[in-house]
A and B are shown apart, each in its own frame.
Chain A
Amino acid sequence: MKKIMGLAAAALLGFGVIGAEAADKLKVGFIYVGPIGDHGWSYQHNQGRLAIEKEFGDKVETVYIENVSEGPDAERAIERLARDGAGLIFTTSFGFMNPTLKVAQKFPDVKFEHATGYKRSENLSTYSARFYEGRYVIGQMAAKMSKTGTAGYVASVPIPEVVRGINSFMLGAQSVNPDFKVKVVWVNSWYDPGKEADAAKALLDQGADVISQHTDSPAPLQVAEERGAVGFGQASDMIAFAPKAQLTAIVDDWSAYYIRRVQAVLDGTWKSEDVWGGFDKDMVVMAPYTNVPEDVAKEAAAMAEKIRSGEFHPFTGPIFKQDGSEAVGEGIIIDDGTLLGMNWYVKGIDDKLPN
């Protein structure tokens, strides 16, 4: 027993030394909901972490915990990073909202950043990206490339973020082909390659020839590749998984934002705020347009540019809800508050929103 205690004491001492060395470095912590190898959501956040390391070199140190369940384990994982000396902590999934808030209250000197949530405090910022901007672009591409006039949409969980994406995709498609159909399958998971692949197969069997997805694995795209259909990468450029099927991908690019926030902490200018950026802040980026005719690629790039410059907003009226009632009239843009809580489909979507 004595020996063990001695060993522990020695090790503690060792850690103390390491801790003292690291004191003048900013430690940046990340909590990921999935494995960093998902090639989707968590993978992209981890790319952002690596970008921080590359940008700041010796001035920062980064740590992360992956595969953190959005339940009772989350608070412990976040608190561990805070206790480990992290000065800035990014929690990168919606389900971490209340645990992040609780830990933020316990550690007023640590800065927290929560992705996709809406609760903020003195030391807790929120940030998210307007992925729906990219979805409008791929909706237009889908309508141009589809022969059957039907797209399949592999959806994760029915939160406003996902519903907004489906609507934006549909509005884009309808701007090209007013009779376009979108079929939706909910897999009730953000990352489940088996279920995602099954959903994609079912959608192709029902007549879809373009697959869009709001789940994180490349599985739906791979199914499209196998079956000779086309699709779009999600979160990261997935061209390596589907060289013949991927038309483009909506890439979540967190690097620029993360670097800005780390810089702000280093400069002492960090303030709690809410950032919702899209093409304009380089948080959403389109992967190269591939496997499409030149004019489709050109028009897609032009549309992305129009959204970036603010010339066009995907949610510009008239927009009708699924039941036919008018959501907004001609020329009116749906406000951010409504977009953030969106829980209704636009007209023409062939699905009933699970509610």
Chain B
Amino acid sequence: MRLELEKRAEHSTAMALLSPVIALALTLVSGAILFAALGENPAEALYVFFIEPLTASWSLQELVVKATPLILIGVGLAVCYLSNTWNIGGEGQFTAGALAGSVLPILFPDFQTPFTLPLMLLMGIAGGMAWAAIPAFLKVRFGTNEILTSLMLVYIALLLLDWLVRGPWRDPDGYNFPESRIFSDAASLPALADGRMHVGAIFALIAVAALAVVLMKSLKGFEIRVLGQAPRAGRFAGFSQNKMVWFAFLLSGGLAGLAGISEVSGSINQLTPVISPGYGFTAIIVAFLGRLNPIGILFSGLLLALSYLGGEAAQVALGISDKTTRVFQGMLLFYVLACDTLILYRIRLGGPAATGKGA
């Protein structure tokens, strides 16, 4: 006896739409069991986790703040993954963008004009693109595995940030503590409301809308898909694999760079040794959770952000450990991926005879 995954000949549209709902329901049931086992009232725990963060203006804004970089990076990565380009280095491109954009407020703190912010944003985008151009170049020119190079560049970017804030970019008035000076108002992204939600959220929405149109309605979107699913067919159609590698990396790098400078300028207002709690890596999960669809990524980014906020709320309101939160997040991802798998595949119980010498 053994289990086999067999590809379904056709999959039901209804089930495809229902799958996230089923996954969420399964997570809620398992979560309830988990919380009950911890001696908490499951209904109250689930309320604190999923609903309470949505009941106040400030936490809704915080939700958007947390989701913004995830979505910006996630939609860029979706284009990469759809075109079979494996950019794992969103975190590095995020950091490179933050560094490039921070050159102005840190080295030229007196340059405070209406042009400061737009320039910073452009430099951030350029920084992320430049960082992403390295693995793109290595892949196109030498056939280097981009998974490795883009990942390695993450650590280089993080250490570069670390070196800069401990050394040359350290706040001269900061008692030698590893932090840059604080950005002037002219170099800080304006808030959208009374809380911390900033203009970066609008960039994320624009990126989602633009990429949704490109992917669904344009020839470029067709090219991305064809080269991703059938590179040979793509070549016959006259599409260039190399150009696509460049396109995917530059686009995703630029978006990650924009996310980086937006986060630094809109939320932290200075460079510190840590500017990201792993946005670039979490965005990979967000991209797949959203099924590489920009609209889907919008929702998956918000959902993941909610799970972080809910986790904190649960710690405060119920005294539930941070570890429980992580288990809960893990269950959510597991169920989503498992449900998706079962839409595309069916489980078959195969006897040893069926495959002859198998087992």
**Chain A interface (Cβ < 8 Å from any Cβ of B):** 4, 7-8, 11-12, 14, 29, 35, 63-67, 69-73, 75-77, 79-81, 83-84, 94-95, 97-98, 118, 157-160, 188, 340-343, 354-355
A56 to chain B, nearest CB (A): 17
What's the count of A-B pairs with C-beta under 8 Å? 100
B residues 20-74 touching A (CB-CB < 8 Å): 43-44, 47, 51, 55-56, 58-59, 62, 65-66
Q: Is B276 an interface residue (CB 8 A)?
A: yes
A163 to chain B, nearest CB (A): 8
Query: Sorted from nearest, which 6 A-B pairs have the closest CB atoms?
Result: A71-B274, A69-B277, A341-B175, A343-B176, A67-B322, A341-B176
B261 to chain A, nearest CB (A): 13
Task: Name the A residues within 8 Å of B162 (CB-CB).
Answer: 188
Beyond known contacts A63-B316, A159-B177: 10 more, CB 8 A cutoff: A11-B51, A63-B319, A67-B322, A71-B276, A72-B263, A72-B268, A72-B276, A83-B56, A98-B268, A98-B270
Task: Name the A residues within 8 Å of B331 (CB-CB).
Answer: none
30 chain-A/chain-B pairs, Cβ below 8 angstroms: A11-B44, A11-B51, A12-B55, A35-B322, A64-B316, A65-B315, A65-B316, A66-B321, A67-B322, A69-B274, A70-B272, A71-B275, A72-B275, A73-B277, A76-B62, A76-B196, A76-B312, A79-B58, A95-B274, A98-B182, A98-B268, A157-B166, A157-B273, A159-B176, A160-B177, A340-B175, A341-B176, A342-B176, A343-B176, A355-B167
B residues 147-167 touching A (CB-CB < 8 Å): 162, 166-167
Bound form: Cα–Cα A81–B315 in Å: 10
Task: Name the A residues within 8 Å of B272 (CB-CB).
Answer: 70-71, 95
Bound form: Cα–Cα A11–B55 in Å: 11
Bound form: Cα–Cα A77–B308 in Å: 11
Task: Name the A residues within 8 Å of B134 (CB-CB).
Answer: none
Binary contact track B317-331/A, C-beta < 8 Å → 1, others 0? 101011100000000
Task: Name the A residues within 8 Å of B47 (CB-CB).
Answer: 7-8, 11
Task: Name the A residues within 8 Å of B274 (CB-CB).
Answer: 69-71, 95
Say yes or no: B316 contacts A84, CB within 8 Å.
Answer: yes
Q: How many residues of B contact A (CB 8 A)?
A: 43
Task: Name the B residues within 8 Å of A76 (CB-CB).
Answer: 62, 65-66, 196, 309, 312
Q: Is B269 an interface residue (CB 8 A)?
A: yes
| A64, A84, A159 pick with most chain B CB within 10 angstroms | A159
Bound form: Cα–Cα A72–B176 in Å: 21
Which partner residue on chain A sits nearest B175 by CB separation?
A341
Say yes or no: A66 contacts B316, CB within 8 Å.
Answer: no
Bound form: Cα–Cα A36–B4 in Å: 43
B250 to chain A, nearest CB (A): 26
Bound form: Cα–Cα A83–B315 in Å: 14
Q: Is B231 an interface residue (CB 8 A)?
A: no
Q: Is B190 an interface residue (CB 8 A)?
A: no
Task: Name the A residues within 8 Å of B59 (CB-CB).
Answer: 80
Which partner residue on chain B sits nearest A95 by CB separation?
B272
Q: Is B215 an interface residue (CB 8 A)?
A: no
Bound form: Cα–Cα A236–B51 in Å: 39
**Chain B interface (Cβ < 8 Å from any Cβ of A):** 43-44, 47, 51, 55-56, 58-59, 62, 65-66, 162, 166-167, 175-179, 182, 196, 263, 267-270, 272-277, 308-309, 312-313, 315-317, 319, 321-323
Say yes or no: B316 contacts A80, CB within 8 Å.
Answer: yes
A316 to chain B, nearest CB (A): 22
Task: Name the B residues within 8 Å of A7 (CB-CB).
Answer: 47
Task: Name the B residues within 8 Å of A35 (CB-CB).
Answer: 322-323
Query: Which residue of B55, B263, B268, B316 is within 8 Å of A81 (Cβ)?
Result: B316
User: Given A63-B316, A80-B316, A81-B316, do A160 and B275 touch, yes or no (CB 8 Å)?
Assistant: no
Bound form: Cα–Cα A100–B167 in Å: 24
Task: Name the A residues within 8 Å of B317 (CB-CB).
Answer: 84
Say yes or no: A118 contacts B175, CB within 8 Å.
Answer: yes
Bound form: Cα–Cα A192–B3 in Å: 40
B174 to chain A, nearest CB (A): 8
Which partner residue on chain A sits nearest B326 by CB separation?
A67
Bound form: Cα–Cα A72–B272 in Å: 10
Say yes or no: B322 contacts A66, CB within 8 Å.
Answer: yes
Task: Name the B residues within 8 Å of A95 (CB-CB).
Answer: 272-274
Bound form: Cα–Cα A35–B312 in Å: 13
Task: Name the A residues within 8 Å of B313 (CB-CB).
Answer: 80
Bound form: Cα–Cα A7–B323 in Å: 27
Query: Which residue of B176, B263, B273, B315 is within 8 Å of A64 (Cβ)?
Result: B315
Say yes or no: B182 contacts A160, CB within 8 Å.
Answer: no
Task: Name the B residues within 8 Å of A11 (CB-CB).
Answer: 43-44, 47, 51
Say yes or no: A77 contacts B273, CB within 8 Å.
Answer: no
Bound form: Cα–Cα A277–B59 in Å: 37
Which partner residue on chain B sits nearest A344 by CB separation?
B176
Say yes or no: B65 contacts A160, CB within 8 Å.
Answer: no
User: Given A157-B178, A160-B177, do A354 and B312 touch, yes or no (CB 8 Å)?
Assistant: no
User: Given A71-B275, A343-B176, do A355 and B166 touch, yes or no (CB 8 Å)?
Assistant: yes
A166 to chain B, nearest CB (A): 14
Say yes or no: A72 contacts B267, CB within 8 Å.
Answer: yes
Which partner residue on chain A sits nearest B195 by CB separation?
A79
Task: Name the B residues within 8 Å of A81 (CB-CB).
Answer: 316
Say yes or no: A158 contacts B166, CB within 8 Å.
Answer: yes
Task: Name the B residues within 8 Å of A77 (CB-CB).
Answer: 312
Say yes or no: B55 contacts A8, CB within 8 Å.
Answer: yes
Which partner residue on chain B sits nearest A29 by CB separation?
B316
| B44, B166, B263 pick with most chain A CB within 10 angstroms | B166
B168 to chain A, nearest CB (A): 9
Task: Name the A residues within 8 Å of B273 (CB-CB).
Answer: 70, 95, 157
